[in-house]
Amino acid sequence: MSVLSGKKVLLGITAGIAAYKTAGLVRLFIKQGAEVQVIMTPASKDFITPLTLSTLSKNPVHSTFYDKESENELWNNHVELGLWADLMLIAPATANTLSKMVNGVCDNLLLATYLSSKCPVYFAPAMDLDMYIHPSTKNNLEKLQRFGNVMIPATSGELASGLVGEGRMAEPEDMVSFITKDLLSKLPLKGKKILLTAGPTYEAIDPVRFVGNHSSGKMGFAIAKTAANLGAEVILIAGPTAETIQHSFVKRIDVKSAEEMYTQAHRYFKDTDIAILSAAVADYRPKNVATQKIKKKEATMEIVLEKTKDILASLGELKEQQLLVGFALETTNETENAKGKLKKKNLDLIVLNSLQDKGAGFATNTNKITIIDKNLSAQTFELKSKDAVAIDIMNAIVAKL
Residue type, 196: L
Q: How far is the CB of 200 from ligand CTP (least distance, A)?
A: 10
CA 159-164-168 angle, 5° bins:
40
Residue 305 C-beta: closest distance to ligand CTP, Å: 13
Which residues, 6+ apart, have CB-to-CB distance to 183 below 8 Å?
3, 4, 7, 87, 120
Closer Cβ to ligand CTP, 109 or 255, answer by number: 255
Q: Which residues ranging from 38 to 77 are in contact with ligand CTP (CB under 6 A)? A: none
Q: Which of 283, 357, 373, 387 binds ligand CTP (CB under 6 A)?
A: 283
- In the complex, minimum distance from the CB of residue 283 to ligand CTP, in angstroms, rounded to a whole number: 5
Encode 168-205: b = buried (16+ Cβ within 10 Å), e = exposed.
bbbbbeebbebbeeebeeebebeebbbbbbbbbbbbbb
Nearer to ligand CTP (CB atom), residue 308 or residue 366: 308
The CA distance from 318 to 322, in Å, is 9
Write out the binding residues for ligand CTP, residues 298-317 only, by CB under 6 A. Answer: 308, 310-312
Q: Are strands 349-354 and 369-373 parallel, antiparallel or unpaired?
A: antiparallel
Active-site annotation holds for 333: no
Contact flag: residue 326 with ligand CTP (CB under 6 A)? yes
Q: Which of residues 245-274 bind ligand CTP (CB under 6 A)?
A: 258
Query: 114 or 202: whose CB is closer to ligand CTP?
Result: 202
Q: Give the nearer residue to ligand CTP in terms of CB position, either 269 or 327.
A: 327
Q: 153-212: which residues touch ligand CTP (CB under 6 A)?
A: 197
Q: If binding is defined by CB under 6 A, does position 279 make contact with ligand CTP?
A: yes
Complex with ligand CTP: residue 82 or 239, whichever CB lies closer? 239
Cβ neighbours around 161 below 10 Å, total: 14
Query: Does residue 237 belong to the site contacting ligand CTP (CB under 6 A)?
Result: no
Count residues binding ligand CTP (CB under 6 A): 15
CA atoms of 54 and 166, how far apart (whole Å): 31
- Of 11-19, 29-37, 168-176, 278-286, which part binds ligand CTP (CB under 6 A)? 278-286
Q: Which stretch binds ligand CTP (CB under 6 A): 52-60, 105-113, 153-161, 325-333?
A: 325-333
CB of 277 to ligand CTP, least distance (A): 4
DSSP string, 288-315: S--SSPPPP-SSS----EEEPP-HHHHH
Q: Can you tell me which of 144, 281, 390, 397 binds ligand CTP, judged by CB under 6 A?
A: 281
Rounded alpha-carbon distances, angstroms, from residue 319 to 66, 189, 190, 225, 273: 59, 20, 22, 25, 10
Of 87, 91, 97, 89, residue with least CA distance to 154: 91
Residue pair 236/277 in contact by the 8 Å Cβ criterion? no
Instruction: Please count the residues of the chain.
Output: 401
Q: Which are the catalytic amino acids?
A: 213
Residues that bind ligand CTP (CB under 6 A): 197, 258, 277, 279, 281, 283, 308, 310-312, 326-329, 341
